[in-house]
Amino acid sequence: MEKMSHLILAFLVLVIFGFILNFTIYMSIFAFVGVLIPDLDTKSRKYHRKLFHNIWILIIFLFIGFILGIFFNRESGIIFSIGFISHLIGDSLTHRGIMPLWPIKKPKFNGPVKTGGLGEYLLILILLILIYWTGTMI
């Protein structure tokens, strides 16, 4: 997925979980950071969607979310972790997918969406509708 798609997904996470967790504006920072961290490996085509898109890094960042929860508040740590997880879920919907057990190559989770293609833009539209719908329900 493209960066904007991940940010929209993070916003949906904020709308849903922010309401449950008594959203505060600074929680958005944790959600957006959490959703963007997995793409830190973007500069290296060799390691993109490998180095930061696996369960081992997820465990490390869940721990970081726990630490954030200690220093800020529990909700910030949770929303950071959910943002990170939502990124992995989003990328698992694309053709390239993710290898959750990397460096082990199998299994690979991938879906029908082409990054930057019509499917991704339809997914963005669905996410925006969900954001609107969820916002009207709250």
Does position 29 have pLDDT exceeding 80, yes or no?
yes
User: In angstroms, rounded to a whole number, what is the distance separating the alpha carbons of residues 134 and 44?
Assistant: 37
Contacts of 110 (CB under 8 A, 6+ apart): 92, 93, 94, 95, 96, 97, 98
Encode pLDDT of 41-90 as tens digits.
Answer: 766 555 566 778 888 888 998 888 888 778 877 777 888 888 888 899 89
Predicted local confidence at residue 122, as pLDDT:
93
Mean pLDDT of 113-136: 87
More confident residue, 36 or 22: 36
SS3 52: coil
More confident residue, 137 or 27: 27
32 pLDDT tier (thresholds 50, 70, 90): confident
What six digits make up the tokens of 83? 């943002």
Contact 41, 49 (CB under 8 A): yes
User: In angstroms, rounded to a whole number, what is the distance separating the alpha carbons of residues 21 and 15?
Assistant: 10
Q: What's the whole-number average pLDDT of the chain?
A: 82
Structural Rg of the chain based on CA atoms: 15
Does position 30 have pLDDT exceeding 80, yes or no?
yes
Does position 137 have pLDDT exceeding 70, yes or no?
no
Predicted local confidence at residue 45, as pLDDT:
59
Does position 100 have pLDDT exceeding 90, yes or no?
no
Predicted local confidence at residue 47, as pLDDT:
54
